[in-house]
Structure 1
């Protein structure tokens, strides 16, 4: 949980320090890539680490991920230019891509379904607390010490996590019929195809128009590369992302749920604070606490989800969570420009409750339905789906907001933050409508999950 907390904090700690970084290093036009490149590197590496954890073992791959994350942190702390900082953030992201999925896989290995009912609540709490602490800690470092400590503080904490893992976690050696055969070609095709797709989604409408040659080329390249990836995986002896994850209903149901949660989670994270500040007129702190309702609701629900799925099953728990999320989405439709900020915070809290009742049980169901040798892939595929959903959510909600603004202004906006409230408000009201509609898809993802998920016996 310590290593997971490091990654969770690092995802948010830099946001409050961006002005200080730009003052020191320059490169204002490049700073959005400090976030995008981290997300890209983390997302595309998750399936590879999941497969390697099954082939090589959890412990060595998690230690390698921590080492890579700490190397990236040290280099970020010593960065001499914005370009160097962006490159070193990619190294950090590659390390983070191992830590989250393998950490969750280890939980699936050492705890039974009943025990994970409690442990998943602890892990969700780590993410929630980290999401709240991260921006505050980043602001303190930037204002009173140096923004470089945002990265350097990871070194002692990460070293402690690695030491605890090396000393305390004993992984039994697994018998194998021969040497591990890693799917290099499939990995390369998956990585390059996913990068092309994510760059198109994250930067389309930002660095270039959606209808531009750049967008078309990236999407076409992604289609070709991912199509070749599917063909390679059909013949590979040890596919990096085996196609059985799409036919095994517990895993595919978890992936579908994670995809939808990712769309809503990062999409709303991008626009709730903007609405609170630019339309409702709150300060940055209040806007942050408005969004925090979602990160508080998630662990509350995740902690109780275990008791629910032990009594009524994974599918019914997820259906309940979908219903709660739909109520939260409907609550967004009541938000008004002249209303109190509580009308925005309350639906975020309810959505967080719904996400906790959907996401946590779905991961446990996917892990429980497969043996040890497939658990890394199953967990990695589920988290990979959430990462893809996050990119889709940012792109989709951004396209909706920009389309409405363009219709009202008669031209494309340079940025949303500088728009007057009477223009931005209707655009984000439309985003809330889209979010409410997408929340209905959680019902469909829950229906993919089988009525009963039988736990595969754990290996000694």
Structure 2
């Protein structure tokens, strides 16, 4: 595969590498706000409940944010192709900042939950728009390095978020979790407004000038179907039994809406999520890899800390460091992936990452009650390297296979696939853990009734070990995604 070192958009719109720095910095800052707000509330929940009440409602603080973010990501990706990346990015930052302001002055738990949903609507625009901007201003060879910075932001945020939440809640007020977003979000918006000129290339001008109707029915059907699917996966077995009327009905309605969505997309002139996306081997491989990445990452980050503390007897900090090794490996791999796929191929890069991911998951699965914590850390580090060689090159391959007018769709669909993967991982791994626990305790417990951290080691160890085996089995899907990627991709040089 031959890849140019500087695409026309690089030469025309941003020129020198230093001129792109502020744009990259603004995207990283915006991404950091989205990433930190995913986890920052975890340690502040007691303070929030004490102040506002609504203990039984607080899980919706997380679900509402994640749902609003996930279901709007593919829609915003398409809108970025229709109206441009800059307007959508600024819209996302504006919604996120407005949601943060309202969260900071929230007077009740229901109000806070609604305002978290508004934050999620903003986050849904920031993620695909930011990654699409990276695809616009950097050449194919440079995108892996640029995206490694964004991956590093997510890695650091996963560790920093809960710490900041605890500090604000203990030494100031939980409301500062949201107040701090205002100046940082406005700073990112100002930098993008002043420094990012996306109309500086012929492809961008042509894409913006072309009259493209907005597929409103398709967008609404897609958001509704995706929202019900994710809600069913996240809450099934917790708020309702899987085979209850609600548990089954929510998936039936989601499937009906998905079928209606397909019928609409076949007829409209410019669909919000074109069906050719699913027929493209490059985009299909990219989305399949992203879906498995979401599953595997969820399984490891959710259950490794519990295993380290409750089975191996490690402290909270040590357990956190063990899973943080994944966050170290990911950006390292992402930053070196560019050399890999420019000298070889995207397919070779994805297959190498798949092998590392499978190896890392296997190492984690070998842990037992007498294992040292560093064994988990090594497994997470290798797994992080593998995921880094799959996730970032997958997005770059998808962006490289389309022109400017479809790059937002390619990016948004990839990110949506990872969100779906995470939700599927929640459902599958939670059911696996609870199934083993129920069998060990003699049955009679519904999924969601079991507090894993309160179980004895002789019950918890086999339950989590089975989850790790399931994660390893899921990692085989990374290999399948890599094999699906074509051996040769001709980048669209626009």
**Pairwise TM-score range, normalised by the shorter structure:** over 0.9
Q: How does 1:192-211 map to 2 (within 5 A)?
A: 192-211=224-243
Partner in structure 2 of residue 434 of structure 1: 470
Residues 15-45 of structure 1: per-residue CA shift (max 9 Å, x gap)? 1212221222222211111111111110000
Distance of 1:130 and 1:287 partners within structure 2: 17
Q: How does 1:9-20 map to 2 (within 5 A)?
A: 9-20=36-47
Could you tell me which of 404, 409, 416 is aligned with 1:372?
404
Distance of 2:319 and 2:78 partners within structure 1: 40
1:21 has 2:53 as partner? no
Partner in structure 2 of residue 174 of structure 1: 205
* Offset at residue 70 of structure 1 (A): 0.6
* Offset at residue 283 of structure 1 (A): 2.6
Could you tell me which of 332, 340, 347 is aligned with 2:364?
332
* Offset at residue 56 of structure 1 (A): 0.6
Distance of 2:227 and 2:303 partners within structure 1: 24
Is the Cα contact below 8 Å between 2:229 and 2:254 reproduced in 1?
Answer: yes
Partner in structure 2 of residue 139 of structure 1: 166
Q: How does 1:203-222 map to 2 (within 5 A)?
A: 203-222=235-254
* Offset at residue 174 of structure 1 (A): 2.5
Partner in structure 2 of residue 446 of structure 1: 482
Distance of 1:184 and 1:253 partners within structure 2: 28
Residues 49-85 of structure 1: per-residue CA shift (max 9 Å, x gap)? 0110000111011100000001111111111111111
Could you tell me which of 132, 141, 151 is aligned with 1:114?
141
Partner in structure 1 of residue 293 of structure 2: 261
Residues 360-405 of structure 1: per-residue CA shift (max 9 Å, x gap)? 1010000001000000000000001000001001111001001111
1:402 has 2:434 as partner? yes
Q: 1:284 to 1:27 in 2, by over 3 A?
A: farther
1:411 has 2:444 as partner? yes
Partner in structure 2 of residue 321 of structure 1: 353
Is the Cα contact below 8 Å between 2:299 and 2:467 reproduced in 1?
Answer: no
Distance of 1:371 and 1:437 partners within structure 2: 36
* Offset at residue 247 of structure 1 (A): 1.1
1:226 has 2:253 as partner? no
Distance of 2:241 and 2:451 partners within structure 1: 13
Residues 206-238 of structure 1: per-residue CA shift (max 9 Å, x gap)? 111111111101010111010111111111111
Partner in structure 2 of residue 72 of structure 1: 99
Q: How does 1:40-51 map to 2 (within 5 A)?
A: 40-51=67-78
* Residue aligned with 1:175, SS: helix
* Offset at residue 202 of structure 1 (A): 0.3
Partner in structure 2 of residue 303 of structure 1: 335
Distance of 1:53 and 1:366 partners within structure 2: 16
1:456 has 2:492 as partner? yes
Instruction: State the aligned residue count.
Output: 458
Is the Cα contact below 8 Å between 2:434 and 2:450 reproduced in 1?
Answer: no
Distance of 1:171 and 1:332 partners within structure 2: 44
Between 1:153-162 and 1:3-12, the stretch displaced more is: 3-12
Between 1:160-169 and 1:185-194, the stretch displaced more is: 185-194
* Offset at residue 416 of structure 1 (A): 2.3
* Offset at residue 417 of structure 1 (A): 2.7
* Residue aligned with 1:242, SS: coil
* Residue aligned with 1:174, SS: helix
* Offset at residue 306 of structure 1 (A): 1.1
Partner in structure 1 of residue 316 of structure 2: 284
Can you give the 5+ residue segments of structure 1 that lack an aligned partner in the other structure?
none
Distance of 1:285 and 1:18 partners within structure 2: 19
* Offset at residue 198 of structure 1 (A): 0.8
* Offset at residue 178 of structure 1 (A): 5.8
For the aligned residue pairs, the C-alpha RMSD in angstroms reads 1.3
